[in-house]
Amino acid sequence: MGVRRAVKGVGKFLIDTVGEAVAEAVLSLLACLLLGCLLLIGYLSWSFDPRLTIAGAGLLSLLLAHAAWRTFRAASNGRRRGLAALTATSFGAAAATALFLLLYATDCGCL
Protein backbone atom coordinates (compact mmCIF):
# COMPACT_ATOMS: atom_id res chain seq x y z
CA MET A 1 0.00 0.00 0.00
CA GLY A 2 2.88 2.39 0.77
CA VAL A 3 4.53 1.78 -2.61
CA ARG A 4 1.39 2.84 -4.52
CA ARG A 5 1.12 6.03 -2.50
CA ALA A 6 4.80 6.79 -3.13
CA VAL A 7 4.43 6.17 -6.87
CA LYS A 8 1.36 8.42 -7.02
CA GLY A 9 3.25 11.11 -5.10
CA VAL A 10 6.20 10.92 -7.47
CA GLY A 11 3.87 11.02 -10.47
CA LYS A 12 2.07 14.08 -9.14
CA PHE A 13 5.41 15.77 -8.44
CA LEU A 14 6.60 15.11 -11.99
CA ILE A 15 3.37 16.42 -13.51
CA ASP A 16 3.59 19.61 -11.40
CA THR A 17 7.25 20.12 -12.26
CA VAL A 18 6.72 19.68 -15.99
CA GLY A 19 3.64 21.91 -15.88
CA GLU A 20 5.56 24.68 -14.16
CA ALA A 21 8.44 24.39 -16.64
CA VAL A 22 6.05 24.61 -19.60
CA ALA A 23 4.23 27.58 -18.06
CA GLU A 24 7.55 29.35 -17.43
CA ALA A 25 8.61 28.76 -21.03
CA VAL A 26 5.32 30.07 -22.39
CA LEU A 27 5.47 33.19 -20.22
CA SER A 28 9.07 33.85 -21.23
CA LEU A 29 8.14 33.47 -24.89
CA LEU A 30 5.23 35.90 -24.46
CA ALA A 31 7.51 38.39 -22.72
CA CYS A 32 10.06 38.15 -25.55
CA LEU A 33 7.31 38.66 -28.13
CA LEU A 34 5.92 41.66 -26.25
CA LEU A 35 9.36 43.21 -25.87
CA GLY A 36 10.07 42.62 -29.56
CA CYS A 37 6.76 44.23 -30.55
CA LEU A 38 7.45 47.26 -28.36
CA LEU A 39 10.91 47.65 -29.89
CA LEU A 40 9.48 47.27 -33.40
CA ILE A 41 6.85 49.93 -32.71
CA GLY A 42 9.56 52.29 -31.45
CA TYR A 43 11.80 51.60 -34.45
CA LEU A 44 9.03 52.05 -37.00
CA SER A 45 7.78 55.18 -35.27
CA TRP A 46 11.27 56.67 -35.21
CA SER A 47 11.90 55.81 -38.86
CA PHE A 48 8.57 57.39 -39.85
CA ASP A 49 9.03 60.71 -38.03
CA PRO A 50 11.42 61.29 -35.10
CA ARG A 51 9.74 64.53 -34.01
CA LEU A 52 6.34 62.89 -33.87
CA THR A 53 7.85 60.00 -31.91
CA ILE A 54 9.29 62.38 -29.30
CA ALA A 55 5.99 64.29 -29.14
CA GLY A 56 4.07 61.03 -28.68
CA ALA A 57 6.46 59.87 -25.96
CA GLY A 58 6.04 63.22 -24.19
CA LEU A 59 2.26 62.98 -24.41
CA LEU A 60 2.34 59.41 -23.12
CA SER A 61 4.60 60.53 -20.25
CA LEU A 62 2.16 63.30 -19.33
CA LEU A 63 -0.73 60.84 -19.46
CA LEU A 64 1.06 58.38 -17.18
CA ALA A 65 2.20 61.15 -14.81
CA HIS A 66 -1.40 62.37 -14.51
CA ALA A 67 -2.54 58.81 -13.95
CA ALA A 68 0.04 58.20 -11.21
CA TRP A 69 -0.92 61.47 -9.53
CA ARG A 70 -4.63 60.62 -9.63
CA THR A 71 -4.05 57.02 -8.57
CA PHE A 72 -1.90 57.73 -5.54
CA ARG A 73 -3.66 60.94 -4.52
CA ALA A 74 -6.28 60.54 -1.81
CA ALA A 75 -9.68 60.82 -3.48
CA SER A 76 -12.39 62.62 -1.58
CA ASN A 77 -15.20 60.20 -2.34
CA GLY A 78 -13.26 57.23 -3.74
CA ARG A 79 -14.67 57.49 -7.26
CA ARG A 80 -12.92 58.47 -10.45
CA ARG A 81 -14.66 59.95 -13.42
CA GLY A 82 -13.80 60.77 -17.00
CA LEU A 83 -10.16 61.41 -17.73
CA ALA A 84 -9.05 60.32 -14.27
CA ALA A 85 -10.57 56.87 -14.76
CA LEU A 86 -9.03 56.55 -18.22
CA THR A 87 -5.58 57.58 -17.08
CA ALA A 88 -5.74 55.41 -13.96
CA THR A 89 -6.62 52.43 -16.15
CA SER A 90 -3.77 53.20 -18.54
CA PHE A 91 -1.39 53.57 -15.60
CA GLY A 92 -2.47 50.18 -14.27
CA ALA A 93 -1.96 48.57 -17.68
CA ALA A 94 1.48 50.17 -18.08
CA ALA A 95 2.50 49.11 -14.57
CA ALA A 96 1.30 45.54 -15.15
CA THR A 97 3.16 45.38 -18.48
CA ALA A 98 6.34 46.73 -16.89
CA LEU A 99 6.11 44.23 -14.04
CA PHE A 100 5.48 41.37 -16.46
CA LEU A 101 8.49 42.37 -18.55
CA LEU A 102 10.62 42.83 -15.46
CA LEU A 103 9.81 39.35 -14.20
CA TYR A 104 9.93 37.38 -17.44
CA ALA A 105 11.92 39.33 -20.07
CA THR A 106 15.09 39.61 -18.00
CA ASP A 107 16.09 36.10 -19.12
CA CYS A 108 15.21 36.83 -22.73
CA GLY A 109 18.17 35.77 -24.84
CA CYS A 110 16.48 36.78 -28.07
CA LEU A 111 17.93 40.30 -28.03
pTM above 0.95, yes or no: no
Mean pLDDT of the region 17-25: 87
Q: What is the pLDDT of residue 51?
A: 92
> Is 18 a domain residue?
yes
The tally of domains found in the chain comes to 1
What 3 state SS string does 13-25 have?
A: HHHHHHHHHHHHH
Mean pLDDT of the region 14-33: 86
Mean pLDDT of the region 13-33: 86
> Is 22 a domain residue?
yes
Q: What is the pLDDT of residue 26?
A: 86
> Is 45 a domain residue?
yes
> Is 109 a domain residue?
no
Q: What is the pLDDT of residue 60?
A: 85
Rounded Cα distance, 91 and 86, in Å = 9
> Is 35 a domain residue?
yes
**Structural domain for 95, as ranges:** 2-104
Q: Are 26 and 103 contacting, i.e. CB atoms less than 8 angstroms apart?
A: no
Mean pLDDT of the region 6-12: 82
Q: Are 67 and 91 contacting, i.e. CB atoms less than 8 angstroms apart?
A: yes
> Is 9 a domain residue?
yes
> Is 111 a domain residue?
no
> Is 110 a domain residue?
no
pLDDT in tens, 51-106: 988 998 888 888 888 888 877 776 666 666 777 778 878 888 888 888 888 887 77
pLDDT in tens, 91-104: 888 888 888 888 87
